C-alpha cells in the first residue's frame, strides 16, 4: 500500500488497495488508522458495486439513510447525488454532511459514477487544522458554546420549490433542529475540532443575534482558508472516504452543462461532545 500526502493540512492518495476485495478486519483497521491520520483518503480505479460501497462504509458503524435523496434500487443506504442542467446541485457552500442529525455521520464514502471531463472537483478542509490555528483567546471563548443545526436551513431552496414542502414535509418533521458543541473532541484521535458549518448551522445559543452571525461568519471563513484545505480532481471510479466529524467539503459546481453523478453512503457517528 502506498500513501501519498497531497496537502499540508489533510488528504492522502492511497494506492495498492482493492476496495472490492473482502475487507478483512486487518485492512479495516489500516483504513481507519489512515483516516484518523489524514482525515480524507482518495482511491482511484475502484469499480466497486453499490453493495460493496455499502459494505465499505459499514466498517465504520451502522449506516444512515437520508430523507431528501434518491437511492439505488434495493440498497437504500446508497444515495444518488446527481447534478444535471435540469436539476443542478443546490449544495454550494462548505459543510459537513447531515449535521442536522443528533448523531451526524462519522464517515462518508463517495464514489464517482459519471464524472465531467473538466471541473466538478471537491474541496476538503480540516477542522482540526482550523481549530489549531485559532488564537488562544478565541479557543477559550468558544469552549462550552453550543450551536444549532437545522435540516430546514440546508434544504431551504428545495423546500421553497413548488411541491417542496409536500415532498420534504415528513423529513422536516423527523429532523427538528439539534444542538452540537461548537468545539468537539474527536472520539478516536482525542483532537479538538471546530464543528459549525455554513449549510446547517443557524446560530450559536445564548449570543445576541449579531454576535452569533458575525462569529459564525468568521469561523466559516477561517475554516475555509486555503492553508486548511486540499482539492480532489475526480476520475471515474474514484472513491473518497472522509471523516465527517473533522472535515468539511465543498463541491465546485463549475462543470455544467456536463452531468455529474456520485454515489454516497454514510455511517452513523456518536453524539458529538
Using the contact rule CB under 5 A, the part of the chain among 31-39, 96-104, 120-128, 157-165 near Fe ion is: 96-104
Query: Grid coordinates representing 151?
Result: 435540516
Q: Which is nearer to Fe ion, 17 or 159 (CB)?
A: 159
Rank residues 91 and 142 by Cβ distance to Fe ion and give the closer one. 91
**Does 228 participate in catalysis according to the annotation?**
no
Q: Residues 16, 229, 139, CA angle at the centre, nearest 5°?
A: 125
Q: Among the candidate windows 22-30, 95-103, 181-189, 203-211, which touches Fe ion by CB under 5 A?
A: 95-103
Residue number, 77 or 97, with CB nearest to Fe ion? 97
For Fe ion, which stretch binds (CB under 5 A), given 15-23, 97-105, 115-123, 175-183?
A: 97-105
Stretch of 33-41, 92-100, 178-186, 230-238 contacting Fe ion, by CB under 5 A: 92-100
Kindly state the helix (H) or strand (E) to which residue 241 belongs, with its residue range: strand 239-243
Q: Among 111, 149, 263, 264, which one carries the catalytic annotation?
A: 264
Is residue 54 annotated as a catalytic residue, yes or no? no
Q: Tell me how far, at minimum, the Cβ of 225 lies from Fe ion, in Å.
A: 20
| Count of other CB atoms within 10 angstroms of residue 24 | 9
Total residues in contact with Fe ion, by rule CB under 5 A:
1
| Cβ proximity of 159 and 172 under 8 Å | yes
Do residues 122 and 156 touch, judged by C-beta distance below 8 A? no
* Catalytic status, residue 264: yes
**Shortest reach from residue 91's CB to Fe ion, in Å:** 6
Shorter beta-carbon distance to Fe ion: residue 82 or 97: 97
The binder of Fe ion chosen from 39, 55, 82, 97 (CB under 5 A): 97
Q: How far is the CB of 2 from Fe ion (least distance, A)?
A: 27
Question: Of the listed 38, 66, 97, 149, which one is catalytic?
Answer: 97
User: Strand 178-181 vs strand 146-149: parallel, antiparallel, or unpaired?
Assistant: antiparallel
> Which residue's Cβ has the minimum distance to Fe ion?
97
Which residues inside 1-60 make contact with Fe ion, applying CB under 5 A?
Answer: none
Catalytic annotation on 243?
no
Residue 36 · residue 240 · CB < 8 Å? no
The active-site residue out of 38, 66, 95, 263 is: 95
* H-helix segments, 95-240: 127-132, 136-142, 151-154, 156-160, 164-174, 209-223
Q: Are 77 and 50 in contact (CB under 8 A)?
A: no
Give me the sign of the Cα torsion angle 70, 259, 125, 8. positive
What's the CA gap between 196 and 192, in Å, rounded?
13
Pairing between β-strand 122-126 and β-strand 2-5 as defined by DSSP bridges: unpaired
| Interface residue list for Fe ion (CB under 5 A) | 97
Which residues belong to the active site? 95, 97, 249, 264
Amino acid at each position: 500500500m502506498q500513501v501519498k500526502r497531497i496537502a499540508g493540512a489533510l488528504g492522502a492518495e492511497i494506492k495498492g488497495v482493492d476496495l472490492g476485495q473482502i475487507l478483512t478486519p486487518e485492512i479495516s483497521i489500516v483504513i481507519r488508522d489512515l483516516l484518523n491520520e489524514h482525515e480524507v483518503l482518495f482511491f482511484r480505479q475502484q469499480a466497486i458495486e453499490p453493495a460493496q460501497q455499502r459494505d465499505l462504509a459499514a466498517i465504520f458503524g451502522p449506516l444512515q439513510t437520508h430523507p431528501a435523496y434518491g437511492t439505488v434500487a434495493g440498497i437504500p443506504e446508497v444515495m444518488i447525488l446527481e447534478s444535471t442542467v435540469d436539476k443542478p446541485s443546490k449544495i454550494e457552500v462548505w459543510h459537513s454532511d447531515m449535521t442536522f442529525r443528533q448523531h451526524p455521520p462519522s464517515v462518508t464514502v463517495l464514489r464517482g459514477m459519471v464524472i465531467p471531463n473538466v471541473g466538478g472537483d471537491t474541496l476538503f478542509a480540516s477542522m482540526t487544522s482550523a481549530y489549531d490555528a485559532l488564537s488562544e483567546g478565541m479557543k477559550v471563548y468558544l469552549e462550552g458554546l453550543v450551536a444549532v443545526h437545522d435540516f430546514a436551513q440546508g434544504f431551504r431552496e428545495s423546500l421553497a420549490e413548488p411541491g417542496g414542502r409536500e415532498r420534504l414535509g415528513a423529513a422536516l418533521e423527523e429532523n427538528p433542529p439539534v444542538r452540537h458543541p461548537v468545539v468537539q473532541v474527536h472520539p478516536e484521535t482525542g483532537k479538538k475540532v471546530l464543528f459549525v458549518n455554513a449549510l446547517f448551522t443557524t446560530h450559536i445559543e445564548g449570543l445576541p443575534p449579531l454576535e452569533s452571525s458575525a462569529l459564525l461568519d468568521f469561523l466559516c471563513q477561517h475554516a475555509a482558508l486555503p492553508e486548511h484545505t486540499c482539492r480532489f480532481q475526480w476520475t471515474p471510479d474514484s472513491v473518497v472516504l472522509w471523516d465527517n466529524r473533522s472535515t468539511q467539503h465543498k463541491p465546485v459546481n463549475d462543470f455544467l452543462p456536463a452531468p455529474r453523478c456520485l454515489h454516497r453512503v454514510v455511517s452513523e457517528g456518536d453524539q458529538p461532545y
